[in-house]
Structure 1
Amino acid sequence: MSGARTQQGGRRAAPRRRAADTLSYIPPVREPRFTVKALRAAGISGLFLAWLAGFAVALTSVVAVGFPDTFARYGAGLLTVVFVVGTARRSGGRATLWGVLALALVGVALFTTWSWAIAAGSVVAAVFAAVWAVLITRPAARVGSVVREYVIALVVASSGTAAVAAWDATVEYRRYYLIVLIVALAITFGIVWSLGAGLHGLGRRGVALIIGGAALLALVLLYSTAVRQYGSAEVVDAIDRTAAWLHDTTGGVPRPAEVLVGFPALVWGISTRSHRRQGWWMCAFGVVGTAVMTTALASPNADTTYVALSTLYSAILGLAIGLVIRSLDPGSTSKSGQRAARRASAQDEIRPEPARSHALK
């Protein structure tokens, strides 16, 4: 019989592990729990909690809770920083740098109470709240998802309205409104261009839509001013009587810029982005609606109830018009005979975009 040990049945027994093999065994190294991914998640959670806290504190400027007026201004300052950081992060910019700059401006405004600094903080809050409200949305194919994204944008814009009210800056409303609207549009269009949704790929129809949207916006913005200054007394009186009747009957008056341009464009853009990145151009016009919202309480004499009801009516009408345009848009369907099939598989056709808490590029 050979020197090798055998088991029952004649099979060779497994050799014993040598000491050298045991000593060369290296146990697996555990990954550290605190990673960059965890740090990023903590930052996102912190940004959301800061937004909630700032919103709650800023609301004390429009809800009688017995707190001093300066208390609400701290909430506005916190919201201003959150809006800037959120916009920079979502657009792929340097969130830390812009956050530090916003914090510096807020610090000067809060601790010096200089009128120019408070006005600047109010403008920054209104602009970046309007832009962030649009950027934070996600593409949606179904009506229910479109409405959900629409509501999220309005909630963010509402927090910007509360921030502007809490800043309580001394401003001339018409000039303030135009500055916020122009700057918000410029920032949004710049971001949309950098996202790769440039004019290429739009086609004649897309260019016509953008030109038409710009013309409609100019008409809405200039018409009211032109009528007030150059219109006949009968026309001005008829407009005033209609607005007074709506105010007395419903408590609020829908705002044309929101109903005819901003909100329908936002709804249409959210839906179009589900299959074409050029839908961002429609969303860019949606900032008109969110900018009008954020500036609604900039005037010290603004009636909170009237503004709230006017915004509600504008949001409902704008949503209805946007859904109608969405249903009539031939670009949302390929062929009329495939419409039902496209709707049935809409979830599978959604164009991928980064998550709501991540950068768009």
Structure 2
Amino acid sequence: MTETSGGRRAAPRRRTSDTLSYIPPVREPRFSMKALRAAGVSGLFLAWLAGFAVATTSVVAVGFPDRYARYGAAVLAVVFTAGVARRSGGRSTLWSVLVALLSTIALLTEWAWAMAGASVVTATFGAVLAVLITRPASRVSSVVREYAIALLMATSAAVAVAAWNAPVVHQRYYILVLVAAFATIFGIVWGLGAGLHGLGRRGVTLIVGGAAVLAVLLVYSTFVRTYGSPELVNAIDETVVWLRDTIGGVPRPTEVLIGFPALVWGISTRSNRRQGWWMCAFGVVGTSVMATGLASPNADVTYVALSTLYSAV
């Protein structure tokens, strides 16, 4: 210490080493974003399990009233919406609230338009989420695993649609869900697949060819049923009846020729190129068919399940 001219002692100088060695404590945040995201995903998974279990009572005789199954369908509708929004980077809270509001109106009033709207939303977002939830895979076992996960998610959407039991015309309902699912998945894949950049001539040809085959199948099936000759229609009906009586189900052309092969191909391609998302987009054809399979109140659950199994394998 030194004395000043007034007789006071000067304050001791702090050494530079003491100043540098002191690190003030930093309080960690109570909840990190990573922990919040993990909690959100876990919550969605648990809600999906609960909704799936409750909605399954609509197709499995366990003695529960039908209205309980609709509660499970409402939960699944919100989960599907939140999952698609989170996967695409959208506002999951906003869309989940809107779908929850629609589902609540359908549950409380049982109005035909509300029931049909909730059923369409459930099938559409369930079919889209079944594709978006998959991960890229390079090994055969990994591709099979992701494929099975997509089928399971689409199955839960089909069960939810059955639980809604909305008054719809099946053919129109299927076309509406397919168009809505295609519009949704293509809008999302445009960002995930970086647009059309990098596809090349071969990729564009495959996409255009897939769209053309899908259009031909849809138009041809409708045309044959409406304007086909009685002999042709009877031959098709007899073949379907024979397959149903022999093996219990009939493979669906849109699933066998487009939906499921495109989904498997896209999952494996995405492990090397993000443009594989464009192949996965056509997988929504298969998941949409699955999601709408039980929309008709007269649908035979065993027949639909076996038809899906034969189409998937």
Asked whether the two chains share a fold, i.e. TM above 0.5, the reply is yes
CA change 1:243–1:196 in 2 (3 A) is: closer
Which runs of 5 or more residues in structure 1 are unaligned? Answer: 1-17, 317-361
Equivalent-residue separation in structure 2 for 1:221 and 1:145 (angstroms) = 32
* Aligned partner letter, 2:49: L
Number of residue pairs the alignment of both structures matches: 298
* Aligned partner letter, 2:168: V
8 Å CA contact 1:137, 1:152 repeated in 2: yes
Equivalent-residue separation in structure 2 for 1:121 and 1:56 (angstroms) = 19
Equivalent-residue separation in structure 1 for 2:227 and 2:22 (angstroms) = 90
Equivalent-residue separation in structure 2 for 1:29 and 1:281 (angstroms) = 46
8 Å CA contact 1:87, 1:132 repeated in 2: yes
The worse-fitting range, judged by mean Cα deviation, of 103-112 and 72-81 is 103-112
Q: Which of 198, 208, 213 is the aligned partner of 1:211?
A: 208
Aligned to 2:3: none
Aligned to 1:72: 69
1:256 is aligned to 2:235: no
8 Å CA contact 2:158, 2:294 repeated in 1: yes
Q: Which of 141, 144, 147 is the aligned partner of 2:144?
A: 147
Aligned to 2:273: 276
The worse-fitting range, judged by mean Cα deviation, of 121-130 and 197-206 is 197-206
Residues 267-324 of structure 1 show CA distances to partners (whole Å, capped at 9, x for unaligned) of: 11111111111111110110000000000000000000100110111111xxxxxxxx
Counterparts of 1:241-252 in structure 2 under 5 Å? 241-252=238-249
Aligned to 1:238: 235
Equivalent-residue separation in structure 2 for 1:264 and 1:60 (angstroms) = 31
Aligned to 1:61: 58
- CA positional deviation for 1:111: 1.2
1:202 is aligned to 2:199: yes
8 Å CA contact 1:197, 1:280 repeated in 2: no
Aligned to 2:125: 128
Aligned to 1:227: 224
What's the RMSD between the two structures over aligned residues? 1.9
Aligned to 2:42: 45
Residues 77-106 of structure 1 show CA distances to partners (whole Å, capped at 9, x for unaligned) of: 000000000000001111111111111111
- CA positional deviation for 1:203: 1.3
Equivalent-residue separation in structure 2 for 1:276 and 1:60 (angstroms) = 41
Equivalent-residue separation in structure 1 for 2:62 and 2:118 (angstroms) = 24
* Aligned partner letter, 1:308: A
* Aligned partner letter, 1:136: I
1:113 is aligned to 2:146: no
Aligned to 1:162: 159
* Aligned partner letter, 1:96: T
Aligned to 1:301: 298
8 Å CA contact 2:260, 2:312 repeated in 1: yes
Residues 94-130 of structure 1 show CA distances to partners (whole Å, capped at 9, x for unaligned) of: 1111111111111111111111101100000000000
Equivalent-residue separation in structure 1 for 2:194 and 2:150 (angstroms) = 21
Three-state SS of the structure 1 residue aligned to 2:205 is: helix
- CA positional deviation for 1:33: 4.7
Which runs of 5 or more residues in structure 2 are unaligned? Answer: 1-14
Three-state SS of the structure 2 residue aligned to 1:302 is: coil
Three-state SS of the structure 1 residue aligned to 2:90 is: coil
The worse-fitting range, judged by mean Cα deviation, of 35-44 and 120-129 is 35-44
8 Å CA contact 1:252, 1:307 repeated in 2: yes
* Aligned partner letter, 1:164: V
8 Å CA contact 1:197, 1:281 repeated in 2: no
8 Å CA contact 1:262, 1:290 repeated in 2: yes
- CA positional deviation for 1:30: 5.2
* Aligned partner letter, 2:103: V
Identity %: 74
Three-state SS of the structure 1 residue aligned to 2:175 is: helix
8 Å CA contact 2:128, 2:184 repeated in 1: yes
Q: Which of 180, 184, 187 is the aligned partner of 2:181?
A: 184
1:86 is aligned to 2:83: yes
8 Å CA contact 2:193, 2:278 repeated in 1: no
Equivalent-residue separation in structure 1 for 2:79 and 2:194 (angstroms) = 26
